[in-house]
Amino acid sequence: MQGKNAVITGGARGIGESIARLLAKMGANIVIWDVLEDQAKATAGAIASAFGVKTAGQAADVTSGDSVEAAVAAAVAGLGGIDILINNAGITRDGLLIRMKEEDWDKVLAINLKGVWQCTKSVGRVMLKARRGAIVNIASVVGVMGNAGQANYSASKAGVIGLTKTSAKEFASRGIRVNAVAPGFIRTAMTDKLTDEQRKRMLDLIPLGQLGTPEDVADAAVFLASDAARYITGQTINVCGGMLM
């Protein structure tokens, strides 16, 4: 990772921040793109102080082509290139399918799925020119298993897994690998909202008997982004305590 340049979308906090920290610990320079500009800059600053690598935190909305193109130009101008892209930005807007509002369907699909396509397209151009790169998409086990109350979210994450395979096939001959990590239930702001009852029902489904941590996801994502995974592309690693086998 020494001297490589990594972009992490939605890296201001949560799983994205953990991935950024681990990449920095291994020597990579870090660019965080997030709609939370102040938090992106604060996290980037904290990572620079902790690990002594170059970092930048930038306002970027993954659903906007113009915003992503501007962020790519800034990253390339600042660091000279992009070697690693972690497509992590994602949201939930849960509700039963028949009651789900159209705007909640559209918003989740726009950020979780279109956003991955947009960033892959814009950063992919830089990687294609350099003829090297690694892309890791953060999917979810519910993209494979489904989950009542998450029609929009599970569809978006199933889409991410399909998009991962297509990007892997299109980019392989140019030295670019594309893989996904599908987390199960991970302790973050997203899962802190759960009631004790919901948490208990969830734990009953997990053979390893506990929620995962953002660091558990980061370990798998950084492995896939590294040269240790040089012969792996188009794959999805489930980081879920065995909930999906």
Ligand X SMILES: NC(=O)c1ccc[n+]([C@@H]2O[C@H](COP(=O)([O-])OP(=O)(O)OC[C@H]3O[C@@H](n4cnc5c(N)ncnc54)[C@H](O)[C@@H]3O)[C@@H](O)[C@H]2O)c1
Spatial CB neighbours of 51, under 8 Å, sequence gap ≥ 6 = 21, 24, 25
Task: Rule CB under 6 A: choose which of 5, 140, 164, 236 binds ligand X.
Answer: 140
Which of 20, 37, 38 lies closest to 29 in space, CA to CA? 20
Stretch of residues binding ligand X (CB under 6 A), selected from 31-39, 72-80, 193-201, 226-234: 31-39
**Residue 129: closest CA among 61, 81, 177, 169:** 81
Q: Is 159 in the site for ligand X (CB under 6 A)?
A: no
User: Is position 183 an interface residue for ligand X (rule: CB under 6 A)?
Assistant: yes
| Secondary structure class of 1 (helix, strand, coil) | coil
Q: Does 12 bind ligand X (CB under 6 A)?
A: yes
77 binds ligand X (CB under 6 A): no
Cβ proximity of 212 and 195 under 8 Å: no
- Chain centre distance of CA 113: 11
Q: In 10 A of CB 190, how many CB atoms? A: 15
| CB of residue 10 to ligand X, shortest distance in Å | 3
Among 138, 158, 220, 229, binds ligand X (CB under 6 A): 138
Choice from 5, 55, 58, 88 touching ligand X (CB under 6 A): 88
**Which residue among 24, 58, 82, 90 contacts ligand X (CB under 6 A)?**
90
Is 231 catalytic? The answer is: no
Q: Are the C-beta atoms of residues 139 and 96 closer than 8 Å to each other?
A: no
Q: Which of 6, 15, 85, 244 binds ligand X (CB under 6 A)?
A: 15
CA 244 to chain centre: 19
Does 143 interact with ligand X (rule: CB under 6 A)? Answer: no
Which of 33, 51, 153, 185 is catalytic? The answer is 153
Q: Would you say 196 or 227 has its CB closer to ligand X?
A: 196
Examine residue 244 and tell whether it contacts ligand X (CB under 6 A). no
Task: Work out whether 123 is an interface residue with ligand X (CB under 6 A).
Answer: no
CB of 32 to ligand X, least distance (A): 9
Q: Residue length, the chain?
A: 245
* Span interacting with ligand X, options 4-12, 70-78, 97-105, 127-135, rule CB under 6 A: 4-12
Give dist(CA 149, CA 65) in Å, integer.
30
Min dist. Cβ of residue 212 to ligand X (A): 7
Burial of 149 (0-12, 13-18, 19+ CB in 10 A): middle
List all residues 6 or more positions away from 112 whose beta carbon is below 8 Å from its beta carbon: 89, 90, 91, 153, 156, 157, 159, 160
Q: Is 147 in the site for ligand X (CB under 6 A)?
A: no
| Catalytic sites, residue numbers | 153
Q: Can you give the binding site for ligand X, defined by CB under 6 A? A: 9-10, 12-16, 33-36, 60-63, 88-91, 111, 115, 138, 140, 183, 185-186, 188-191
